[in-house]
């Protein structure tokens, strides 16, 4: 590791504060090459790798998103975005400030010092040269290594024509996946008669299958398709209804950096501008264990879509064109049919003869009713963005417009909490976003208004108060009449509506290897919400202390308290107000603790221990309900061709509200975050087998065994017995 320091010193010594010419670099580079050759052999003998290692997504998940205890978090989208960065890593020699921000692993001071180093000294020679840049310690470098690269700025031009580059691309793979629950579930048993009618059953087989192909290169192109059949769905060929075998079919083509044409997307794609108030995709983490960098969003613009979520993308075309060195214009159009339950109006004087009460987001089409709702609502979206970025990259301003039209009107149920929800066929939303860097401060924000007159705004400040102290402040306000259909800015709610809040975050590194992170978020809801029949307010607070004894180990403890209002159960109303006709909003208090330890005993053996517990109660005076999970992981690299991973865990949760979410390792490109409640054990094992240079096979078995239960699951997912077992196999073919 001494080499990067020597290279950095030599470059600074010969550059004299200006961008060096090639002639000035010859002598120091020649010396660096000689020194590198002298050190390379013993370092490789010691087992150090100079190629990019696959990301440790389990550990990264613990560091960034630990204690995300919710089933509303788009885990698959988060995971997919990280995999995209691994497969098409960011080039540190050409990445803009916005692209570096989008990685979520660098603070603003680290980004600034990297850009300054690049401006003064020219392109980086190696990722390990980061050690010579202020603010980059070994922990920070190791976190970003899987997702970054160091390439010359004109490398794509020398790789041949487009089809030649596709044919020669290393990041070119085809995936086949199969999974199934071994026990028979209620939905797959023969139907019975109830009141003269057959009971509901799944129409397809219990097999879940996936075919996936993708070839991509950083800042050049991405091409791929996905076909997925969920368990219970049928394989149907009916092109007139948009069914081509598998229930879900997705394809995309993305071209980048074609002169002034910065991006051209055809097929399925995603968009992100500003703080995601109108258009947001990918890694929108929000609150989590990373208390600073995940607050901001980046204007990454047009991105390829290759995930399996069936409702978070656009389908059509999008293009970004650079009209001036500092100005880019993006336009897009999208049309697809989405799931909805269409209903006929019973009132002859109603404005709409046909309507739907809302969109369906599950993506499942297994039963007759689910199939009847499949792709029933036409959705057309168009809009664009005009963005200005100063030549030094410190100031960015953008204007975004999004127009949405549905073929059938959306009319929410006439409940009090739906009074200000979107209704009708059309919605127009306009926004202005900004970001400005001044010394060690980053100011950012976005303000928008929608057709109904509602205003939404989110504004923040990130500050590096010193080499070891980072702070954040974020203020947001979303009117009850503010409607954004593809936005996902920072919020406590799952959508940016009916909320006001202030977030304060802090991160301190008092001594080497130690880090303290904390946040406090105060929020209120001006209007009623589902399961909250009055305007309410609450708070969310977290503290985490992390210690890295070595480069390959991590220990942390985390405490969190969350107070969020909700209606009390009807059985408890008489204790507070027996004459009240509607539920009385109470306060649900949830407290949780998380202890985690990860260590590499050797280059082949890795151990991870996790203990998490939480308790909650619905109001003062009511009994606490609790849940916990104890999990032990082991990973062993048996040989260069075989890796084994396993976990054994114990769980005990009083009810569904006290359930525990625990991230699990899975086959590549898959994610598993089961909800555990009741009492029992869960185990899983994964074998990763490299058959040859082109073929890799993953085999996974998982089993949840419950105590004191005669059935597992409910409804059509119910299993007779106390065990639920899953098998999964995936084959990757690299071309």
Query: How many Å apart are CA 321 and CA 302, to the nearest integer?
Result: 11
Q: 55: burial class by Cβ within 10 Å (0-12, 13-18, 19+)?
A: middle
Per-residue model confidence (pLDDT) at position 43: 37
- Could you tell me which residue, 717 or 355, shows the higher pLDDT? 717
Examine the pLDDT at 551 and tell me if it is beyond 50. Answer: yes
Per-residue model confidence (pLDDT) at position 720: 96
Determine the average pLDDT of the residues in 535-549: 94
Query: How many Å apart are CA 89 and CA 670, to the nearest integer?
Result: 19
Q: Is the dihedral of CA 358, 362, 368, 374 positive or negative?
A: positive
Per-residue model confidence (pLDDT) at position 137: 81
What pLDDT digit, counting tens, does each position of 643-654 carry? 999 999 999 999
Per-residue model confidence (pLDDT) at position 552: 83
User: Residue 104: which pLDDT band, with cuts at 50, 70 and 90?
Assistant: confident
Query: How many Å apart are CA 199 and CA 193, to the nearest integer?
Result: 6
> Which of 86, 90, 85, 93 minimizes the C-alpha distance to 125?
93
Measured N-to-C along each axis, helices 2-15 and 22-45 cross at an angle, to the nearest 10 degrees, of: 170
Query: How many Å apart are CA 686 and CA 634, to the nearest integer?
Result: 11
Per-residue model confidence (pLDDT) at position 444: 96
What pLDDT digit, counting tens, does each position of 28-67 carry? 443 343 344 334 333 333 333 345 666 776 667 666 655 5
Examine the pLDDT at 23 and tell me if it is beyond 90. Answer: no
What pLDDT digit, counting tens, does each position of 269-289 carry? 999 999 999 998 765 667 888
Is the CB of residue 546 less than 8 Å from the CB of residue 556?
yes
- CATH 2.40.170 positions along the chain are 171-734
Fold category of 171-734 in CATH? Maltoporin; Chain A (2.40.170)
Determine the average pLDDT of the residues in 343-366: 83
What is residue 572's DSSP assignment? G
């Amino acid at each position: 590791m001494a080499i990067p320091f020597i290279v950095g010193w030599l470059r600074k010594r010969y550059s004299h504060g200006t961008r060096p010419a090639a002639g000035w670099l010859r002598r120091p580079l020649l010396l660096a090459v000689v020194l590198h050759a002298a050190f390379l052999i013993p370092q490789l003998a010691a087992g150090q790798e100079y190629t990019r290692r696959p990301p440790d997504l389990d550990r990264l998940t613990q560091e960034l998103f630990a204690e995300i205890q919710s089933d509303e978090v788009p885990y698959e989208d988060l995971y997919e975005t990280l995999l995209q960065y691994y497969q098409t890593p960011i080039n540190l020699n050409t990445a803009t400030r916005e692209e570096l921000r989008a990685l979520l692993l660098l603070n603003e001071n680290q980004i600034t010092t990297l850009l300054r180093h690049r401006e003064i000294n020219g392109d980086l020679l190696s990722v390990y040269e980061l050690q010579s840049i202020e603010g980059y310690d070994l922990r920070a470098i190791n976190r970003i290594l899987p997702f970054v690269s160091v390439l010359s700025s004109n490398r794509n031009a020398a790789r041949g024509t487009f089809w030649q580059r596709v044919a020669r691309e290393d990041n070119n793979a085809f995936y086949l996946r199969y999974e199934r629950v071994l026990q028979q579930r209620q939905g797959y048993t023969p139907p019975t008669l109830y009141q003269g009618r057959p009971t509901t059953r799944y129409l397809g087989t219990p097999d879940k299958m996936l075919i996936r192909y993708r070839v991509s290169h950083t800042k050049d192109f991405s091409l791929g398709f996905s076909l997925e059949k969920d368990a219970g769905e049928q394989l149907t060929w009916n092109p007139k209804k948009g069914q081509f075998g598998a229930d879900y079919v997705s394809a995309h083509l993305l071209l980048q950096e074609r002169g002034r044409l910065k991006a051209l997307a055809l097929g399925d794609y995603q968009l992100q501008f500003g703080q995601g108030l109108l258009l947001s995709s990918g890694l929108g983490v929000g609150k989590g264990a990373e208390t600073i960098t995940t607050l901001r969003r980046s204007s990454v613009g047009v991105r390829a879509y290759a995930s399996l979520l069936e409702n978070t993308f656009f389908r059509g075309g999008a293009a970004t064109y650079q009209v001036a060195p500092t100005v880019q214009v993006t336009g897009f159009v999208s049309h697809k049919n989405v799931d909805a339950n269409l209903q006929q109006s019973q009132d002859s004087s109603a404005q709409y003869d046909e309507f739907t009460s809302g969109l369906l987001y599950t993506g499942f089409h297994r039963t007759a009713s689910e199939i009847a709702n499949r792709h029933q609502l036409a959705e057309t979206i168009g809009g664009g963005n005009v963005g200005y970025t100063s030549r030094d990259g410190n100031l960015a301003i953008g204007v975004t417009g999004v127009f949405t039209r549905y073929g059938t009107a959306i009319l929410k149920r006439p409940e009090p909490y739906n009074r200000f929800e979107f209704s009708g066929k059309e919605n127009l939303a306009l926004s202005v976003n900004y970001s400005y860097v001044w010394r060690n401060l980053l100011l950012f924000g976005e303000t928008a208004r929608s057709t109904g007159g509602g205003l939404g705004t989110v504004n923040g400040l990130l500050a590096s108060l010193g080499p070891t102290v980072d702070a954040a402040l974020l203020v947001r306000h979303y009117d009850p009449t503010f409607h954004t259909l593809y936005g996902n800015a920072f919020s406590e709610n799952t959508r940016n509506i009916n909320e006001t809040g202030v977030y304060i975050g802090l991160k301190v590194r008092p001594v080497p290897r130690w880090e303290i992170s904390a946040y406090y978020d105060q929020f209120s809801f001006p209007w009623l919400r589902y399961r909250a029949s009055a305007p309410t307010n609450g708070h969310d607070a977290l503290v985490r202390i992390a210690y890295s004894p070595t480069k390959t180990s991590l220990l942390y403890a985390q405490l969190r308290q969350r107070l969020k209002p909700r209606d009390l159960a009807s059985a408890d109303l008489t204790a507070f107000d027996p004459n009240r006709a509607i539920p009385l909003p109470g306060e649900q208090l949830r407290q949780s603790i998380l202890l985690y330890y990860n260590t590499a005993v050797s280059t082949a053996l890795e151990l991870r221990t996790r203990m998490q517990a939480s308790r909650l109660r619905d109001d003062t005076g009511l009994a606490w309900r609790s849940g916990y999970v104890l999990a032990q992981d082991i990973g062993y690299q048996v040989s260069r061709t075989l890796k084994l991973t396993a976990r054994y865990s114990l769980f005990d949760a009083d009810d569904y509200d006290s359930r525990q979410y625990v991230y699990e390792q899975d086959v590549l490109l898959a994610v598993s975050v089961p909800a555990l409640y009741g009492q029992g054990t869960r185990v899983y094992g994964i074998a990763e087998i490299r058959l040859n240079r082109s073929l890799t096979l993953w085999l996974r078995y998982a089993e949840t065994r419950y105590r004191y239960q005669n059935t597992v699951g409910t409804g059509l997912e119910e299993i007779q017995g106390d065990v639920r077992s899953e098998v999964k196999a995936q084959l990757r073919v690299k071309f």
